[in-house]
Amino acid sequence: MPSPKPDFILVDDSRLDCLISQKVIKNTSKHATVQSFNEASLALEFITNRIQEPDHDLTIIFLDIQMPVMNGFDFAASFEKLSETIQALYAIFMLSSSTNESDRIRIGNYSCIKHFYIKPLTREIVQEVINTSCKD
């Protein structure tokens, strides 16, 4: 059985964090495709307008919390308004430098957010996310 090859979307206003995360993902999942967005609204627009390919595995989203204009919680609230068909194609994981306990508690208000991880993204986190998200 071939190993899952999920796509990834990075949503983080830090270009450096996106670049580092992209390298970690590519080193962990060699055939993964990675899209980066420095504005959450652009990522949401991409997801809304994206045409899914039939052989497409799940897309994993690593989402930062603290961003200008539309933060991670605003993104999650807007994502949850999308059709269930679209939502089922994605798994969202918060990836943030925030150690604020209220942020961790607030994540529980969004069923679309699967888990919270502290930056930086590591091979272990990517592998764990793939293993838990891409089960048959």
Distant-in-sequence, close-in-space partners of 11: CB < 8 Å, separation ≥ 6: 36, 37, 40, 43, 61, 62, 63, 64, 67, 72, 75
Q: What is the rounded CA–CA span in Å between residue 11 and residue 77? A: 15
pLDDT at 30: 85
Class of domain 7-133: alpha beta
pLDDT at 107: 94
- Residue 2 DSSP symbol: P
pLDDT at 134: 78
- Tell me the average confidence (pLDDT) per consecutive run of 10 residues in the chain, 136 residues long: 74 96 94 94 94 74 96 98 93 92 92 96 96 78
CA distances from 78 to 28, 70, 81, 119 (A): 30, 10, 5, 23
Which among 1, 12, 3, 80 is positioned nearest to 40, based on CA atoms?
Answer: 12
Which among 65, 68, 130 is positioned nearest to 95, based on CA atoms?
Answer: 65
CA angle 38, 22, 32 (to 5 degrees): 115
pLDDT at 6: 84
At 22, list the tokens: 């992209």
Domain coordinates of the chain in residue numbers? 7-133
